[in-house]
Amino acid sequence: MLNRRYFVTSGVLGLGVAAFPGVGWAAPGTDKKFVFIIQRGAADGLATLAPTGDPDFLRARGDLAADAAAGLQLDTMFTLHPAMGESAKLFALKQASFSHALASGYRERSHFDAQNILESGGERPYGRDDGWLGRLLTLLPREGAKGLAVAPAVPLALRGPIAANSYAPSRMQDANSDLMARLTNLYAEDAQLSALWSGAQAAEAMAGPPADQALRGGKALGQMTAGLMNGPNGARVVMLEANGWDTHFQQKGRLNAALGQLDALVGSLRDTLASEWSNTLVMVATEFGRTVAFNGTGGTDHGTASAAMLFGGSLTNGGKIVADWPGLKASQLYEGRDLKPTTRFEQFASDALARHFSLDPVRTKGVLFPDFA
């Protein structure tokens, strides 16, 4: 049992062109939407999607594994964290799928380098100044190439040849509408500022009244983001940032809160996007995972492989967990301490996106992750 290789293949991973028979690549769907949620700080995939079917997991994590077992059992091997009730419901409806033991090509344990790679889609830190979401925009038809980051400025992942917009809710008092109109005039002859200004005003208008902008938790963020995606002028490729995953210390409570917010965010995207949910793919990923063993302060330290998630109303292979499970015996760990990566994030992401947007998978991978392809 301990050496069992847990391997459910859905055809999404690793099969390339053969997995996409008969799809016409020439006309990618224009009504498709994509949301990427980056978990900054290294989320613990072993707590999020606990391998409760692996006895070594119980041995390595002791009491904390028992907590995991109280979660939402998805199959004989994996149990979803108890804070993720909405995600479990989506999984049951085949509107969620998970990948485990996954990582980018980065094998050190620095947040900033790893996030830089996760965002740029490059093979080494600071090797690129554009990102894979930004390059995704170049594969979409012009009217669908609307990128938006919920952040003050556009993060690396969404930078590229096609300018993306950014929106960040503010606690500051709104500028008055008369000043806004005058600025439209003042910027009229300035190409850069007039483009930014009209984008900013459009995002502001779509985000709705200030009451919705307080961002008290994942639910409000989901509602606001869905508002920014609705309608013909809505954003098609959106990036959200989730923080609070660097759980060196007292992980149980902190992860419970962070996963609860993430779960509420996903649930609220589904509810607010409503009929558009069937055109939407949501991807959740982190820069690396955390140590298999707990440290002396009820937390975990920087590790290697973690889990990633997909959600969407018309997910191919929904309700499945894809993992070439490496095992958790000491000899099976990466450098004796971390879950060993068996799947590349780049493959996972480019396959999911090629499917979602009906793009040629080889070309998609080549554009999104040229160093990997």
For another protein (CB under 8 A), the number of binding residues is: 52
Query: How near is the Cβ of 127 to another protein at its closest, in Å?
Result: 7
Figure out which of the listed residues 36, 91, 167, 325 binds another protein, where binding follows CB under 8 A: 167
Q: Is 166 in the site for another protein (CB under 8 A)?
A: yes
Figure out which of the listed residues 174, 205, 214, 330 binds another protein, where binding follows CB under 8 A: 174
Q: Is 189 in the site for another protein (CB under 8 A)?
A: yes
Query: How near is the Cβ of 211 to another protein at its closest, in Å?
Result: 17
3-class DSSP string for the chain: CCCCCCECCCCCCCCHHHHCCCCCCCCCCCCCEEEEEEECCCCCHHHHEECCCCHHHHHHHCHHHHHHHCCEECCCCCEECCCCHHHHHHHHCCCEEEEEEEECCCCCCCHHHHHHHHHHCCCCCCCCCCCHHHHHHCCCCHHHCCEEEECCCCCHHHCCCCCCEEECCCCCCCCCHHHHHHHHHHCCCCHHHHHHHHHHHHHHHHCCCHHHHCCCCHHHHHHHHHHHHCCCCCCCEEEEEECCCCCCCCHHHHHHHHHHHHHHHHHHHHHHHHHHHHHEEEEEEECCCEECCCCCCCCCCECCCEEEEEEECCCCCCCCEECECCCCCHHHCECCCECCCCEEHHHHHHHHHHHHHCCCHHHHHHHHCCCCC
Q: Is 180 in the site for another protein (CB under 8 A)?
A: yes
Please identify, using beta-carbon distances, which residue of 96 and 220 lies nearer to another protein: 220
Q: Is 248 in the site for another protein (CB under 8 A)?
A: yes
Q: Is 127 in the site for another protein (CB under 8 A)?
A: yes
Please identify, using beta-carbon distances, which residue of 70 and 181 lies nearer to another protein: 181
**What binding mask, one character per residue, do residues 253-272 give for another protein by CB under 8 A, x or -?**
--------------------
Query: How near is the Cβ of 350 to another protein at its closest, in Å?
Result: 24
Q: Is 215 in the site for another protein (CB under 8 A)?
A: no
Q: Is 199 in the site for another protein (CB under 8 A)?
A: yes
Residues forming the site for another protein (CB under 8 A): 110, 112, 116, 126-127, 129, 149, 151-154, 159, 163, 165-168, 170-176, 178-180, 182-183, 185-187, 189-190, 192-193, 196-197, 199-201, 203-204, 248-250, 295-299, 301
